Chain A
């Protein structure tokens, strides 16, 4: 194929898609639907992974000591933590620091209850010492938690493994459901595109016949149909992208205010590059394969 024929192929592709616009529209819509679904699931997964990463980075564990411990007992716990080979680092939060943190929290977030004033008459002795522990490998979290919990003077241990497990489970199901749904929609798109191309081939069979007699090569005849399929796919991708971007913007706003704590959403700007590439890839692949199916069956060149 020669460069100057590309113009011809593009022109014919556009013309065919337009002439056959009802079917083209149907094909575009189904691709759009599939890709919107894909985009939503993709962004959900990205966000789950992002939060998972944050959890892994966060201090893994809070070890809370009993309030009545003496300094020596606290020191014993500290030594145990320092000697645990699964622990990468730890930080001690003293009673005084804990009290300051509580005050600050009440002052900023619970102003309506009277802020720090409700602590009037209390002092740091009511607080307890805690350790923020970072585990080397998050996989060991539950084991380490059990060990620390067994130490004398330790009240309880809180760690993010429960949350991590939940997120992993959610993302597993999201993957499974999206794989099935998107797969089904893509297969449907494939057949609808093939059908659209079939109609174009039928509408132009007279022209195709003439082309064959004049000596057009097989691929010269095929390319406009392949391009028509790709065009339909790309159009679907474009619409899907715009809609997904809009939905995500909306969801981001809603969700970040709803779950102010704990949920950190990926900025759409960080995710869209990959999404665009995937969209272009999937849509043109489906479009081209749909055409190819039809061409094989109906375009006897």
Chain B
């Protein structure tokens, strides 16, 4: 599903964001990517979307070899990936329904498909009753659920959530994570970048820890912090 092979990413200003990353996430997996800001987490996600291109190595997503992907094909790569952000990124002047339908309009779906798919997607996130509300009339948790509905409406094989609970209180955070887990159980591969310790610890899913551009830990049923790696981080004064 997703594979990073010997990835190095240098930015033009000389920063080395990732070096020697090897990573494989299989279809149907649920993985947390944890790490402090500046660890290279965001760069990793940007490579997946081909927002950035790796300096060295190959990224494979949904069967696309991203180093060889012509720019014209990028939209089609992205249609196979649902994206959820910390700041929701909903359009304020569109209703919940319209926000979700928007994702289908711009990928040029048939109106018939849109009318069928949007209510299904809203039902999945439990917001059917709020279809006609505007984003500002919703709570943060509800807004994030709309964003998830939008990410899922085109039936992507992969869902990427970048700090999805960053703006939410613990209760809403839980709702969102449970929802992501449900989505995963329906067969979608889910990658969540986060630094919310409690959630990672409670979910007991795969944890990929990144620090200074390197994978320092890749553990099935892992915790946010591992005793072995914690020591080294501690000595660096991160906590």
- Smallest CB separation, A202 vs chain B (Å): 16
- Residues 188-232 of A, flagged 1 when their CB comes within 8 A of B and 0 if not, give 000000000000000000110111111111101100000000000
In the complex, are the beta carbons of B150 and A5 less than 8 A apart?
no
B126 within 8 A of A: no
| B11 proximal to A (CB < 8 A) | no
Pick the interface stretch among B76-84, B201-209, B230-238.
Answer: B76-84
The A-B contact count (CB < 8 A) is 51
Give every chain B residue within 8 A of A4 (Cβ-Cβ): 108, 110-111
Are B75 and A216 in contact (CB-based, < 8 A)?
A: yes
A8 interfacial by beta-carbon distance below 8 Å: yes
> Min CB distance, B48 to chain A, in Å?
12
Are A210's CB and B91's CB within 8 A? Answer: yes
The distance from the CB of A291 to the nearest CB of chain B, in whole angstroms, is 19
Say which residue of B75, B102, B105, B110 sits within 8 Å of A218 (CB atoms): B75
- Asked whether B91 lies within 8 Å of A215 as measured between CB atoms, the reply is no
| Complex CA–CA separation, A175 to B80 (angstroms) | 58
Q: Which residue of B lies closest to A220 (CB)?
A: B106
Interface residue? B137 (CB, 8 A) = no
CB atoms of A215 and B76 under 8 A apart: yes
Question: Contact between B89 and A5 (Cβ–Cβ < 8 Å)?
Answer: no
How long is the Cα–Cα vector from A212 to B102 in the complex, in angstroms? 12
Number of interface residues of B (CB under 8 A): 23
Q: B72, B78, B111: which contacts A214 (Cβ < 8 A)?
A: B78
Name which residue of chain B comes closest to A1, CB basis. Answer: B108
Please give the distance in Å from A120's CB to the nearest CB on chain B.
Answer: 91
Let me know if A2 is at the binding interface, CB within 8 A. Answer: yes
Tally chain A residues at the interface, Cβ within 8 Å.
19
Answer whether residue B107 sits at the interface, using C-beta atoms and an 8 A cutoff.
yes
A213/B106 in contact, CB under 8 A: no
Specify which of A8, A210, A218 is in contact with B89 (CB 8 Å cutoff): A210
In the bound assembly, the distance between CA atoms of A2 and B105 in angstroms comes to: 11
Nearest neighbor of B79 in chain A, beta-carbon distance: A215
Does the CB pair A211–B89 fall under 8 Å?
A: no
- Nearest neighbor of A2 in chain B, beta-carbon distance: B108
Closest residue of chain B to A8, judged by CB? Answer: B105
A207–B79 CB distance below 8 A: no
Determine the chain B residues whose CB is within 8 A of the CB of A213 once the complex forms.
49, 78, 83, 89
A221 to B72, alpha carbons, bound, how many Å? 13
Judge if B103 is at the interface, Cβ distance under 8 Å.
yes
- Interface pair B106/A211, CB less than 8 Å apart: yes
Evaluate contact between B91 and A207: CB separation under 8 angstroms: yes
List of A residues within 8 angstroms of B80 by Cβ:
215
- In whole angstroms, how far apart are the Cα atoms of A200 and B77 in the complex? 27
Residues of B within 8 A of A1 (CB): 108
A28 to chain B, nearest CB (A): 25
Query: Of A214, A217, A220, which is in contact with the most chain B CB atoms at under 10 Å from its CB?
Result: A214
**In contact, A215 and B89 (Cβ under 8 angstroms):** no
Is A214 within 8 A of B150, CB to CB?
Answer: yes
Shortest A221–chain B CB gap in Å is 8
Question: Which residues 91-134 of B have a CB within 8 angstroms of A?
Answer: 91, 102-103, 105-108, 110-111
**Complex CA distance for A8 and B72, rounded to whole angstroms:** 21
> Is B108 within 8 A of A5, CB to CB?
yes
Report how far A66 CA is from B105 CA in the complex, Å. Answer: 88
Bound CA span A236–B83, Å = 42
Interface centre among A4, A210, A211, A218 (most CB of B within 10 A): A210
Interface pairs (19), CB distance under 8 Å: A8-B105, A207-B91, A209-B89, A210-B89, A210-B91, A210-B102, A213-B89, A214-B107, A215-B75, A215-B78, A215-B79, A215-B107, A216-B75, A216-B106, A217-B72, A218-B71, A218-B75, A220-B108, A221-B106
Closest 8 interchain pairs by CB?
A215-B79, A215-B78, A216-B106, A215-B75, A217-B75, A214-B103, A213-B83, A2-B108
Known: A210-B102, A215-B106. 4 other contacts (CB 8 A): A4-B108, A215-B79, A215-B154, A216-B75
- A residues engaging B (CB < 8 A)? 1-2, 4-5, 8, 206-207, 209-218, 220-221
